[in-house]
Structure 1
């Protein structure tokens, strides 16, 4: 499994990860697993007594796990200055409140290079993760859009790259326009290339295949394909595609015989968040796929969101993926 390969590769150069929701049992388990298996150096933010009590009840070894209590640190002034660096966004009272918010503390530890990455969302809303990430860490230069992808590992190697597909955007942007859809495609293709060491083949999905239907909602998908081709001629991309034409060679031969995607797409870009979120959850549950993410892309340093239904090994796997972005 590619995810097990990621875990093994992490042990060569473990990174420091901060888990702001440190009192959640899944985060405690993940931190212990990462420490005991030399995958990462974990930091849990939370009340020490609560964390240790839960660890003891679950017979979890916290050796090598650092615990940060919010009461022991005061980042009020730093948060005020960082968040207001470009323009006034918060006042002193708000900075005091944010200095007690573990998501902002976790993001700040990454900003200050006291941690390489931050992973939350097990009990927090995606919107809260995004706000903390954008306010404290910020977007990379020349990047206008924060987006996300899911790494989907299927039980069968029949589809994608030996069973691995990247789905985007399934976690952040509800209604991307054509420019934003193109940015999502480019960012996801680049992440696929760096993580998988394989050439990405990007399919822009919809309910039509290369003009088989006509509707105004298809226009942004078609335009996004053209934008990517103009910006990044090195990326193999085509669409609009129905999902079967993107993934099944025999269907592709009938529906899109002249396309550069011959039923072997490994990156699937969905037209909106409705489609992407529904698709990944269906594949995860019905096909019993491993779904890791949403992996945020576009930030200066890694900060990622978890599904609130995640298992502790999902956290471990996301930590491993994030290690290669740090």
Structure 2
């Protein structure tokens, strides 16, 4: 579906529903009447240029930011009124580095188990399960500062998975990683998802990742969703609209078509660039 996108009213159960979500920083509208629906069990990609509103929307869904206008429901819980109930359902890997380099892998995951209020009786087993799921058992007692970039990202995934979340939210999970490490991270995500039925909501600038791993994607621009569907639907929709023959356009072509000339003025500010580059350099 191209152009203005309305709320997805298909009958499948919903992990996330955003209706009319709006959020502003001073005079800047970061999210502008966002309607979004993520189905239970799918991998949903939220794509768009820097400044499109993706991370702000993610922070509202995770209850890290308030919901000043509109509504968000996560598995039926109101994110504004039931913040703790929503948080108990989530695992979250932000863009910024969340692992402590001075702790071992096991200590990092155990710390998150306490933060997520995993019961003391279950804690040790959950920590071992999360480390094993990310193939980090052998390195669990090494300091995180000795890990490669790919291992650091898998450690952060283990931290997010230790609470057995129903919804895993990933904000640029493979930023700064080489193609092999990126593939490795996604393979581990797929293994956990297949075993648990977990829903995954991911933001990424890597169109090949979105094309390969996402069941559906939404392309945001200027705080709203402008295209929504499976990667194949979006590619075919662009080809039909342009009347092109031969190979289908790529998802990157769809991305450029949606963002258009607004890419330059939506690229974020100096602080955004500095934060992204710092994260990339630390996990690279």
Q: Please, what TM-score do these two structures have when normalized by structure 2?
A: 0.37
Relative to the length of structure 1, the TM-score reads 0.33
Q: Which of 1 and 2 has greater Rg?
A: 1
